[in-house]
Amino acid sequence: MRPDTGSRVLHVKEGSDDCGDGSVERPFRSIQQAADVALAGDVVMVHAGTYRESVNPINGGKDRYDRITYTAAPGEHPVIKGSERVNCWQDRGNSVWTAEIDNSLFGSFNPFATPLKGDWLERPSTWNMTLGEVYINGKSMYQAPDVESVRNPQMRKTGFGPDWVKEEEPVAHPEDTVYQWYAQVGDRTTCIWANFQGYDPNASLVEINVRPTCFYPLRTGINYITVTGFEMAQAACQWAPPTGDQQGLIGTHWSKGWVIEGNDLHDARCSAVSLGKDWSTGDSESTRWGYKPGYQTQLETVFRARHAGWDMETVGSHLVRNNHIHDCGQNGVVGHLGCIRSVIEDNDIHDIGNKHEFFGHEIAGIKLHTAIDVIIRHNHIHDSTLGIWLDWEAQGTRVSSNVFNDNIRDFMIEVTHGPCLVDNNVFASAYNLDNVAQGTAFVHNLFCGSAQRRDVLDRFTPYHLPHSTTVAGTACVYGGDDRIYQNIFVGGEAYLPGVTTRGTETYEGCPGSMDEYRDLVHAHGPGDLELFERVKQPAYIDRNVYLNGAQSCSQDIDACKVSDNPRFKVATDRDGSVWLDGELPEAMFHMGCCIVDTAMLGAPRMSEERYEAPDGSPIAIDRDLTGIARGDAPVPGPLEELTPGKNHVRLM
C-alpha cells in the first residue's frame, strides 16, 4: 500500500453492532460487511474472534500497489470458519449420538446432500461420499457408509486407493476408525449420527461444515487482493480436478495478483488454496457426460481457455507465502491455468491426503497443471501422500530449495515437455520421484529414496511459446531429454516392486548429445515420425555422486561412486527449524563441479525454450538451498556447508 493513496482502514470486530460503519469506534460485525464496501487502497483490519462466514470480496485493487488488504489486527488472531457449532445431540447409547438439524442452517447449499465427485475421483467405488464433515474439538471425523458402521466403527472401509492397497482392506490404524458419522438428509431436516467414543458432544466443541469456502470471490476478475494473518478452516470445498471448477477454502477464482501470506489454513474437505480455473471452460465433463475421456476434455479445456483470452495479463501472478497449510483431504495448493507466473514459497505443508477417506489422481501437497513460469521454492512439504505433483505444461517452472520428508512420495512430474528446473532440493522420503515427463533438469539435489521413470506414448499434451500461454504444439512423452548434474543419489532397498531406481541407470542407452541423437534418428533412412519413435531421446548426465549402491549410467564418466551409507535423516526441532544429518565420504568433495547456468543447460527438444527466469533473463544455480553462494568448485548436492565426515546442517 502506498502512503499517498488516501486509503481507509475498515475495522471488523466480532460481536459488534450490526449498524457499525467500520470505524474504530463502530466496527463492522462481519468481514463481509467490510468486503461489500472496500475499494482499492483500503485495509480491512479484522480483530480477534471466530467469524463463521464465507467472505465474497466484491471489489479488487487497481494494481499491485493499490490493493485491497484483508489483515489480522496487530497481535490478534481472527478465525474464519466454514462451519457452525451443533450442540443439540441426543444420546442413543454406546457412544452414538444424533442431532436433528433444520435445513435452513444450510441455505441453498447442504454439504451433507452434495456428493463428492469429479473427474479422476475413483474411490470409494461402492458408496457415495459427500462434502459434509463433522469435527470434534477441532479434529475431523470420518464419514461412514451407513448407520450400522457408526454403531460399529471397526466395520469402516477405507477409500485409500493406490494400486498396492485394496479398497476393502481394513484400516491400518484402529484409532482412525473410531470417530465416525453418517447423515440422513430429508426435506426439512438433516439427521447426523455420530460415534464420539465416550465424549459428550454437548460438552465439547462439535462443528459441521456448512459453507463451501471461507474466502472466495463469486465473480472472476477480482484482482490484487492481499489476505494475511488469518486462520481459516472447515470448508466444504469440492473435489478439484484440472477439468473442474477448482474452489478452495481460499481461492483467487480466475483473478490476478493475489497475495496469500502468513495464514493458518487447514481442514478443507478437498483443497486449501486454489489458484485454479473456473467452471466456464468445463466442469468435469468426462464424469458428467461419459462419452470422452478426461484426457480429451482436459485438452479441450486448455484450448477453450485460450479462445476465452487466457494469458499472462488476465490471471495468475499470485504469491502464496509463509502459510501453514495442513490436514486437507486433497491439496494444500491446487491450480490449473490460473496459476501461471505465480510464486509459492516458504510454506509449511503437511498432512495432505492422509485421512485416506477417498482416493483420486489429483492428491498432493501442491498439485498444479499448466504451471507456466511458476516458482515453487523453500517450502517444507512433509507427512503427506504426495509432496508436489506437476502435471501438463510445467514449462518455465522452477522447483528450488524445498525440503521433502516422510511423504509416501515426494515429487511427480507428468506429461510435460520442459523446460522445468528442479534444483537444490532435499528429497528425504523412501520414494522420491516419479518422472513421467521429459525436458526436466535435475541439478544439485539430494535423492535419498527410490524413483521410477516412464514414457507416455498415448497422450499428446501441449507445449507453448516461451513465457506465453500461446500453444506451439502437442507431443507425447518419449522420455529422456533430461539434464542431471551434480546431484547426490543414495542407494538402498526398493520402495515398491517396480520402483527400484536409486540413480541414473534408467538412462542407459540414451544418446549423450543432440548431434548423436539426430544422427541415430536419420541413420534409419528416409521417413518421418516413425524414425523418431525408434531412438531414445538424449540425456545429459555429469558429475553426480552415487552412495550406498546407487547406480549410474555409463555416460556419467566423472561420477563419484562410494559404497558408504550416509544415513541421511531430516528432523524438525521444537522451534520448527529443520535439520539434515548424515555422514559423507571425502571423495565427493574433489569432483571438479562447476556452476550450472542457462548456457550449460541448453533447451529441451520440443519446446526449444531455455532454462531461464520468467522474464527471459539467464539464471545460474550459484547459491545453495540456504542461500550460501557457491564458489568456482561447488559441492555436489543442495548444500555448500556439507563436509567430509559427520554433518548436522540446518535446512530451514
Residues 416 and 510 in one domain: yes
Judgement on whether residues 75 and 119 belong to the same structural domain of the protein: no
Please give the average per-residue pLDDT across 527-539, as a whole number: 93
Of 209, 235, 251, which residue is a domain's last?
209
pLDDT in tens, 478-520: 999 999 999 999 999 888 887 889 999 999 999 999 999 999 9
Residues 52 and 127 in one domain: no
Determine, yes or no, domain membership for 164: yes
Determine, yes or no, domain membership for 23. yes
Same domain, 479 and 562: yes
Query: Residue holding cell 475431523?
Result: 140
Question: 106 and 51 share a domain?
Answer: no
Q: Are residues 19 and 96 in the same domain?
A: no
- Tell me whether residue 351 is in a domain: no
- Our count of domains for the chain comes to 3
361: Cβ contacts below 8 Å, ≥ 6 apart: 120, 122
Query: What strands, in cross-sheet order, belong to the sheet with 409-414?
Result: 250-251, 271-274, 331-336, 364-369, 386-391, 409-414, 431-436, 450-453
Strands (E) located in 206-362: 206-209, 225-228, 231-235, 250-251, 259-261, 264-268, 271-274, 319-321, 324-328, 331-336, 343-345, 348-352, 359-360
User: Is 49 domain-assigned?
Assistant: yes
Same domain for 511 and 635: yes
Which of 59-68, 364-373, 529-538 has the weakest average pLDDT? Answer: 529-538
- Examine the domain organization and report whether 91 and 74 are in the same domain: no
Query: Do 127 and 73 sit in the same domain of this protein?
Result: no
Do both 148 and 196 map to the same domain?
yes
Would the pTM of this model clear 0.85, i.e. be above it? yes
| Domain final residue, candidates 29, 62, 81 | 81
- Average pLDDT estimate for 191-199: 94
Distance CA 86, CA 201 (A): 9
Q: Which of 172-186, 287-301, 614-628 is predicted most confidently?
A: 614-628
CA distance 370 to 621: 24
Cβ-count burial of 479 within 10 angstroms (0-12 exposed, 13-18 middle, 19+ buried)?
buried
Q: What are phi and psi of 255, to 5 degrees?
A: -130, -175
The domain spanning residue 101 has which CATH number? 2.60.40.1180
Q: How confident is the model at residue 154 (pLDDT cuts 50, 70, 90)?
A: low
Cross-strand partners of 647: 582
The verdict on residue 237 lying in a domain is no
Is residue 121 within 8 Å of residue 239, measured between CB atoms? Answer: yes
**Angle subtended at Cα 94 by Cα 89 and Cα 97, rounded to the nearest 5 degrees:** 15
- Say what the pLDDT of residue 500 is: 86
Residue at 518 is within a domain:
yes
Share of the chain above pLDDT 90, in %: 91
| pLDDT category of residue 6 using cuts at 50, 70 and 90 | low
Contact predicate 331/360, CB 8 Å: no
Which one of 209, 227, 245 terminates a domain? 209
Query: Which three three-digit cell numbers place residue 344?
Result: 509459492
> What's the pLDDT at 497?
81
Q: For residue 589, which phi and psi values (nearest 5 degrees)?
A: -100, 15
Q: What are the tens digits of pLDDT across the range 203-216?
A: 999 999 999 999 99
Collect all residues with Cβ–Cβ distance below 8 Å to 3 and sequence separation of at least 6.
none
Q: Are residues 28 and 94 in the same domain?
A: no
Same domain, yes or no, for 36 and 107?
Answer: no
Asked if residue 431 is part of any domain, the answer here is yes
Q: Is 607 domain-assigned?
A: yes
595 DSSP assignment? -
CA–CA distance, 129 with 651 (Å, rounded to integer): 40
Domain range enclosing 635: 377-650
Q: Which amino acid is at 425?
A: N
Identify the CATH number of the domain in which residue 492 sits.
2.160.20.10
